[in-house]
């Protein structure tokens, strides 16, 4: 995945398909592909509220990570409040808490999304990309130590718009983003929608 535009690389050439993308200074890593049985498990964990399955996916995903020596704080992409009430829990919050427990690196679960427009899953790719321009966030208190190495956590990346929007918000709060980690990476679905 390109760290500049979040697009998937061309399979053979390993080059960015969008040369006009803005350069970001952090890596985006999806731990699992959003396809097949993994996609079904993700749906049960996220939308079915299956915490045990969520923990299983998180723990297996962590095994795919190198030790994050550059990370001083895990910050999950905050949920929109009505979604949180409907689902019963936030998968990114749970990721931050579980990864924090397993690595000994603290997490900050105090943000919220003020966005209450149309759900992203009901939008096509251009709709998702434009939606990120209108998203608002709140929260994010950082100590000077934590500002030096923030890792954003989210459950699924399709276009990368949510991560970019949240990273912009955190940078305005003084954080230095060193990486973004998502439980699932859905580039094939994005390619099919285009």
In a domain, 6, yes or no: no
Question: How many other C-beta atoms can be found within 10 angstroms of the C-beta atom of residue 83?
Answer: 14
Instruction: Summarize pLDDT for 29-46 with one digit per residue, the tens.
Output: 888 888 889 899 999 998
Q: Stretch 134-153: mean pLDDT, rounded?
A: 66
If you ran DSSP here, which 8-state letter would residue 76 be given?
E
Could you give the count of Cα atoms lying within 13 Å of 20 in the half-sphere of its Cβ?
A: 0
Residues facing residue 153 across a β-bridge: 76, 181
pTM of the predicted model over 0.75: no
% of the chain surpassing 70 pLDDT:
64
Residue 8 inside a domain? The answer is no
Residue 160: closest CA among 26, 10, 45, 11: 26
107 or 24, higher pLDDT: 107
Q: What is the CATH number of the domain that holds 75?
A: 3.40.50
Give the pLDDT of residue 115.
46
Task: Calculate the alpha carbon distances from 34 to 21, 39, 181 in Å.
Answer: 24, 5, 14
| Tens digits of residue pLDDT in 144-190 | 555 678 999 999 988 788 888 888 888 888 888 889 999 998 865 44
Contact partners, residue 42, CB within 8 Å, separation at least 6: 32, 34, 57, 155, 156, 183, 184
Number of domains in the chain: 1
> What is the reported pLDDT for 135?
54
SS3 percent helix, strand, coil of the chain, rounded to 5, is 40, 20, 40
Distance, CA of 152 to CA of 73 (rounded, Å) = 9
Mean pLDDT of the chain: 73
Assigned domain for 86 exists: yes
The whole domain housing 174 covers 27-193
Tell me the mean pLDDT in the region 98-102: 88
Q: Which H/E stretch holds residue 130? A: helix 125-131
| Per-residue pLDDT reduced to its tens digit, 72-83 | 889 998 877 777
Residue 109 is predicted with a pLDDT of 76
Look at residue 52 and tell me whether its pLDDT is greater than 90.
yes
More confident residue, 192 or 43: 43
């Amino acid at each position: 995945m390109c760290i500049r535009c979040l697009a998937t690389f061309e399979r053979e050439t390993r080059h960015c398909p969008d040369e006009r993308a803005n350069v970001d200074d952090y890596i985006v890593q999806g731990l699992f592909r959003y396809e097949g049985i993994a996609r079904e498990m993700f749906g049960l964990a996220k939308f079915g509220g299956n915490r045990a399955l969520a923990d299983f996916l998180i723990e297996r995903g962590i095994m795919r990570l190198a030790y994050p020596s550059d990370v001083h704080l895990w910050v999950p992409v905050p949920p929109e409040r009505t979604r949180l009430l409907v689902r019963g829990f936030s998968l990114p919050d749970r990721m931050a808490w579980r990864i924090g427990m397993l690595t000994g690196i603290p997490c900050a679960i105090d943000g919220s999304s003020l966005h209450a427009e149309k759900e992203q899953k009901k939008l096509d790719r251009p709709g998702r990309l434009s939606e990120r321009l209108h998203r608002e966030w709140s929260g994010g208190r950082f100590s000077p130590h934590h500002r030096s190495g923030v890792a954003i956590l989210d459950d699924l990346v399709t276009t990368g718009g949510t991560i970019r929007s949240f990273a912009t918000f955190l940078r305005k709060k003084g954080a230095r983003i060193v990486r973004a980690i998502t439980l699932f990476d859905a580039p094939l679905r994005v390619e099919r929608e285009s």
